[in-house]
Structure 1
């Protein structure tokens, strides 16, 4: 029994294992299974790269039918305005058109998730901060929060504040640790000799151990502070999450270096593997249910992945924001419908007054006809007025709130729909036609243009709030329904080789190009350049993403 929680029965038969020398047994390399999911263990919590500007958007393949992209909205000293525009050039063979794909379907397939970015701090600086006794250091602030929660009951404000700060600390470790691992691996790849790589690896390993050791000392102190049960459980979950994350960083780095040729590279990879094994052994001493084994059964592997995902969601959810979405033009549309009804009714009244001056049979004909005209006139006016409103007003309005801290961050207005290719902005057309051989290609590869626009107004951060540099919006576009009408992914083609004087018959992949032209403007100046990517898809799903401009 740990912290009042019932001990869970083991999923597999446990065996005593003697300590063994760490080695690398690769079941799947990092290239075989890239981490492409924002919510994965190696998910990017601080997504911006040093080479990225505020207008850059990162695109990734989430899975075969989902395309992900993330937009960063930095906070300002005052209310900051942003405008996002994207044009999706969809091949006509997908049969995505205004008559078959309405706004409800657009928004169902284009999901949006919003979160805060964690405060930016380099990994080694975070390690020095953890070693420091300065009252402004992150670990000391967490310690003071725990002290304030002494003797408080579960669910109290002090207990929840302590849990929240521990979760933010885990997010900071995850974000800065991943950036540090990438920098270390880049340094290893660019190193002239292994000695330089060893220096970079040792610095990364030392920083990771200093951060973990500092937090574990804090955890030991917290267990003697008379804290609420939920606080103690949260502290242990954060400890387990940091250990799992560190193990993953060490393990993936060791696999990456193991693929290099040479005995010295193999020795360096083994050192990182030893660090990963050390984290696994630590969790076993703490009786954490997330320790793997080389001969693990599929059920145990499934449990470990479930545990990783649960802990990651527990810690990172402190950053997620809620958004209340409502129809933005509802009252405007109803007002226009009322105008249409009034005009139709006015016509009916006029026709009725005229009918009273006619003979009885003719009056009946006029009244019936006027009623039919009035009914159709109302419907036609409503249709045209709705289209007029659709071009001028937003479809949806958002209110973005941080429920963890009871704070409102901003408002969003959103529009989507179809656009005529010939009426697109010149910058969009220039980016789209950049790679075309001739304008005649429009007849060979006709496209439907799907358009998405957002206006975002962010409030400045309040005093004492989480010092987050930006808000990040993650979109997930489902193109599964778009692929239903595509051709088979492979077909047999024949051609002649003029040099070898032979005829060839080969299997060719049938792919389609989904082009996206987009930009993000700060304010309303519209000076940001248009960018473009090409998403190559087949009937099987998304194949790759090619940046164009």
Structure 2
């Protein structure tokens, strides 16, 4: 079965978690699409992460997985175009003028909020690219277009309010409208303020920076006032703004839940373990029986040597059983997954795929040559560190036809995996060391602050592409994630500074 293309990005989610986001492109010409990902983590031995201290239950306890539809892309203009039958706004109006179906109205309101966010995010990503490339000529025009487009989308949504407050509209629909309005306002505030910070921090011409700032500020302020007037979540100086962050998080879950697929995870090795462990017990029992027969032929059954031989055989039997269990357990991930996840489309309650996960520590001799070559590229042999190697493999099988039959706008799948590194930090030394030394400029003894970091190298294999990243850690958590260049590495321009795109 041919494998399909995967795209993705890696970035820090917070100081204790990094996030791997994979995009699976669906191919309806095939009844089944298969995707494979292998992740290798090369961990310094000094961190104490090994087979004895970091079992499978620790690893799978440290990862979180989410799988959902990729948000469909619309431009601002296509979202408010009444002739665009795929636009959530057009569908809201059509449903309202006919059945007023509660479920459909709520779904389209949520999808509209998601698509407006993506339209604004993509516009800002492109403008950030232009700033980095010093292509400043289109910036003013592009920012005007983004702010105008966002305003049109907000106005179009708010124009529905009077109709939605009619007596024949369910209260749940009005609640969904308020959630969509508040969510778009909050995420737009974050994106616009973030881009405004980029404008301030960049080396743009002062006049241009001031012009861009004058375009973006009025929209930020007017939307802030809109949220304040309606009692939506806002932030304030001198406050911890706990309620704002909590509300933002809850709204994200409420709005984006229409994109998420249902998953049910089972332990993949249960039956295999039972069979293999039974075989181990059987082999151990055969050894015991053979020794018993041999001892019975050599000594009388009432003699002390016979009794000692049976005791020894019993001890050896139990030890062999345990040894076989350990050996088979280590080899099992070659043939069996540790866990498998059934993927279901909640819209139809149809199983649309399956995901299998396998984890193991592997010795250096078992690391594939291309992976080891990527790890050691441009590193002299004398500098090859002592490391433990973790392998995490994920196989995904999706059925595109039932997906595309039900969803005209949801074409691709996004798989999000978050890795928590808190257990990697336990044995780290202090994040900074103070060095007292003579300053070569002043010839005086001064204190120099030296940052201490640890490097976990990550090699990611997606089908036939291999990518390398360096996770830089200190005692406080993730400091940064770096791309490690390699002749075969293919990294896309991400358009943001927090994630590295690849694929």
Provide the secondary structure at the position in 2 that maps to 1:435: coil
Distance 2:335 2:192 in 1: 53
**Any residues of structure 2 matched to 1:502-541 within 5 Å, and which?**
506-521=448-463, 528-541=464-477
Partner of 1:130: 80
The 8 Å contact of residues 149 and 162 in structure 1, kept in 2 or not, is answered as: no
Distance 1:535 1:410 in 2: 31
Partner of 1:311: 251
**Cα distance change, pair 343–185 in 1 and its aligned pair in 2 (3 A):** closer
Q: Give the counterpart of 2:162 among 202, 207, 220.
A: 220
Distance 2:58 2:136 in 1: 55
Q: Give the counterpart of 1:401 among 344, 366, 383.
A: 344
Distance 2:42 2:91 in 1: 50
The 8 Å contact of residues 82 and 456 in structure 1, kept in 2 or not, is answered as: yes
Task: Name structure 1 gaps, 5 residues minimum.
Answer: 1-52, 151-157, 522-527
Distance 1:495 1:334 in 2: 63
User: What TM-score results when the alignment is normalised by the length of structure 2?
Assistant: 0.85
2:199 is the counterpart of 1:248 = no
2:16 is the counterpart of 1:69 = no
Q: Give the counterpart of 1:231 among 173, 188, 192.
A: 173
**Any residues of structure 2 matched to 1:79-94 within 5 Å, and which?**
79-94=32-47
Distance 2:345 2:150 in 1: 30
Distance 2:135 2:420 in 1: 44
Q: Give the counterpart of 1:95 among 42, 48, 62.
A: 48
Partner of 1:38: none
Distance 1:265 1:481 in 2: 44
The 8 Å contact of residues 515 and 532 in structure 1, kept in 2 or not, is answered as: yes
Partner of 1:30: none
**Aligned pairs, how many?**
473
Distance 2:135 2:246 in 1: 41
Distance 1:183 1:313 in 2: 27
**Cα distance change, pair 538–192 in 1 and its aligned pair in 2 (3 A):** closer
Partner of 1:283: 227
**Cα distance change, pair 465–213 in 1 and its aligned pair in 2 (3 A):** same
1:433 Cα deviation from its structure 2 partner = 0.9
1:359 Cα deviation from its structure 2 partner = 4.2
Q: Give the counterpart of 1:386 among 329, 347, 352.
A: 329
The 8 Å contact of residues 188 and 200 in structure 1, kept in 2 or not, is answered as: no
1:218 Cα deviation from its structure 2 partner = 2.5
1:144 Cα deviation from its structure 2 partner = 2.7
Distance 1:422 1:164 in 2: 52
The 8 Å contact of residues 130 and 136 in structure 2, kept in 1 or not, is answered as: no
2:21 is the counterpart of 1:106 = no
Partner of 1:115: 68
Moved more, 58-67 or 217-226: 217-226
Q: Give the counterpart of 1:266 among 210, 214, 224.
A: 210
Partner of 2:363: 420
1:350 Cα deviation from its structure 2 partner = 5.0
Provide the secondary structure at the position in 1 that maps to 2:374: helix
Partner of 2:489: none
Distance 1:518 1:190 in 2: 28
Partner of 2:431: 489
Partner of 1:456: 396
**Cα distance change, pair 179–385 in 1 and its aligned pair in 2 (3 A):** same
Partner of 2:495: none
Distance 1:388 1:303 in 2: 49
1:413 Cα deviation from its structure 2 partner = 1.4
Q: Give the counterpart of 2:263 among 323, 333, 336.
A: 323
Q: Give the counterpart of 2:302 among 360, 373, 387.
A: 360
1:280 Cα deviation from its structure 2 partner = 2.5
The 8 Å contact of residues 38 and 393 in structure 2, kept in 1 or not, is answered as: yes
**Cα distance change, pair 440–307 in 1 and its aligned pair in 2 (3 A):** same
**Cα distance change, pair 149–283 in 1 and its aligned pair in 2 (3 A):** farther
Distance 2:131 2:430 in 1: 43
The 8 Å contact of residues 360 and 392 in structure 2, kept in 1 or not, is answered as: yes
Partner of 2:490: none
1:54 Cα deviation from its structure 2 partner = 4.9
1:166-200 Cα shifts (integer Å, max 9, x gaps): 21121111112111122234446767777x43322
| RMSD value, Cα | 2.9
Distance 2:191 2:329 in 1: 54
